[in-house]
Amino acid sequence: MNPEPTDSTPPLGARIDWATVELPSSWPDQLDLARPSDFLRIIKHLFGPRKPVELPANTPGAPELPRYLLQEFHHLPNGNFSSFYAEGYLWAFDATMLGLSRRMRASMAERLKGHAAVLDIGCSGADLAAAVRDAGVKDVVGLDASPYMLQHAARRHPGLPLVQGLAEKTGFPDGRFDAVAACFLFHELPYAAHDEVLKEARRILKPGGELLICEPSPDQMHLGLWELFKKAGPLALWWKMIATLAHEPFVHDWHQREPKEWFASQGFELVEDTTEVPFRTWLARRAN
Ligand SMILES: C[S@@+](CC[C@H](N)C(=O)[O-])C[C@H]1O[C@@H](n2cnc3c(N)ncnc32)[C@H](O)[C@@H]1O
């Protein structure tokens, strides 16, 4: 539920030191899992139906967060809005991707390193933004809607500029960046939001600027096990299981996208489209 804004609720984009700010504790953060009743509550929650996220009073950005975000993605209790489960998610994501997500971010950073200013949208723990910074880009910013994710990002990557915002409304000026990168963001957005994010990316990119998107490949969702095995080898079963069991309410919206037409409709030109299970990567350039 979105609480009413109060005078002390910082809006999206507020300047906040994410490493040290005290965030309001959400209901799962108040549980003590050593207490049998709390442990049972979380187990019942995990195996029960997904519930809407409850934002505690004074959650930064609360009044501006769209409803679609307030869901329990990946079965996380209270979704991306709990400190404990957001941190668990950062670990679990890389673990379930068997380390390939780290390799993917490193290769995205390698492709982005020639740019002067890069924005990582939906940055979560900001490992991509940090990889881009480590590759030599001085002006890198990570943006995420969840203050809990930003807090972990700030503590993992001290000194990295981090902003709370929406990928569809970043608050940055026109032409601010040379490249925008999104790693596993778009498949978590409803169909209409894809266009909004693309419009916003076009606005904040310089003419000729690049948009690099890496998302789950549709293969693990759509191919039969044997076909997937022929493409991905013995890990086919694992990728199928992850694609089927992860709770991602909008993943089918994303897999409907045909990149060439979609990018063209929003003033981009598709430069590359590569699938290597479990990833699909699109590189697009802002047409002038
Ligand atoms: C799967 S995680 C991204 C993983 C991350 N990019 C990485 O490299 O590991 C999706 C993230 O996108 C954020 N998010 C979802 N919708 C968003 C939106 N409209 N604007 C900004 N962030 C959003 C979520 O809070 C979450 O942290």
- pLDDT, tens digit, for every residue of 231-282? 999 999 999 999 999 999 999 999 999 999 999 999 999 999 999 999 999 9
Nearest to 226 by CA among 217, 236, 213, 212: 236
Task: Quote the pLDDT of residue 6.
Answer: 62
Domain 97-286 sits in which CATH superfamily?
Vaccinia Virus protein VP39 (3.40.50.150)
**pLDDT confidence tier of residue 8, bands split at 50, 70 and 90:** confident
Q: How many angstroms separate the CA atoms of 55 and 29, rounded?
A: 12
Distance 139 CA to ligand 1 centre (A): 20
Say yes or no to pLDDT of 5 above 70: no
Task: Quote the pLDDT of residue 198.
Answer: 98
Please identify, by atom number, the ligand 1 atom nearest to the C-alpha of residue 197: 19
Q: Which of 26, 124, 198 to mutate to test the pocket of ligand 1 (most atoms within 8 A of CB)?
A: 124
Specify the DSSP element, H or E, that contains 284.
strand 279-286
Residues of the chain with CATH 3.40.50.150: 97-286
Task: Quote the pLDDT of residue 281.
Answer: 98
Q: What is the mean pLDDT of residues 176-200?
A: 98
3-state secondary structure of 58: coil
Q: Which of 83, 144, 152 to mutate to test the pocket of ligand 1 (most atoms within 8 A of CB)?
A: 144
